[in-house]
Amino acid sequence: MNSSELKDFLDEKVLQYNTFDFIESDPVQIPHLFSLKEDIEIAGFLSATIAWGNRMMDLMGNAPFDFVMSHTENDLERLETFVHRTFNGIDFASFIRSLQHIYTNHGGLETVFSKHQETNSMQKSIHEFKKIFFEIPHQYRTQKHISDPLNNSAAKRINIFMRLNKVVY
C-alpha cells in the first residue's frame, strides 16, 4: 500500500469511527458525559487506563472530580470489590489518591502533562507524569497500570487518554 492509498484508508476509518453511533457503545463516550474540564480529564484517564467506564463513574457518584477531591476512607473502602481484568479495588483507591495528589499539589493533569511536553513527543511528559503519579505511597503492583515510554513502552493507554480528551497539552 503506498502512502496515498494509506491516507485514503485512514481517512475512511476516521469517517467510519468518528461518529456518535460508534462512540455511543465505546468507552470513549465516558468523557463526553461531562462538561467540567476536570471531570472530563479524570473520566478520560480512568476509562483509557482501565478500559472500563460506566461502572467506575457510578462508583464515583458520576462526579469524578468531586469524588477525587473529597472522598473519605469509607468511600475508598467501597471500591475494594471493584475488579476489572488485572485492575482491582486497591489499584482503584491508589489511582484516586494519586489523582487527588496531582490536583492538590501539581495543578491537575493538564499542568503535569504540559510542564514537560516537548515539541514532537509526549514521551518525557508521560514519563514525568508516571513519576508524579506514584510519588505517594502505593502498592508496587499498581505501577503496572501506567506505562513509561522511556522504558520502551508504547504507552498506548496514556496516548488513548490524550486522544479521548483531545488534550495533547
Domain housing 137: 3-165
- Helix boundaries (H) for 26-155: 37-50, 54-59, 64-70, 73-78, 89-105, 109-115, 123-133
> Is the C-alpha dihedral spanning 40, 148, 116, 142 positive or negative?
positive
Please state the domain count of the chain. 1
- pTM of the prediction? 0.81
Separation between Cα atoms, residue 108 and residue 148, nearest integer Å:
19
Q: What angle do helix axes 156-165 and 37-50 make, rounded to 10 degrees?
A: 150
pLDDT per residue as tens digits for the range 14-53: 788 767 666 666 666 788 789 999 999 999 899 888 877 7
pLDDT of 164 strictly over 80: no
Instruction: Work out the pLDDT band at 168, boundaries 50, 70, 90.
Output: very low
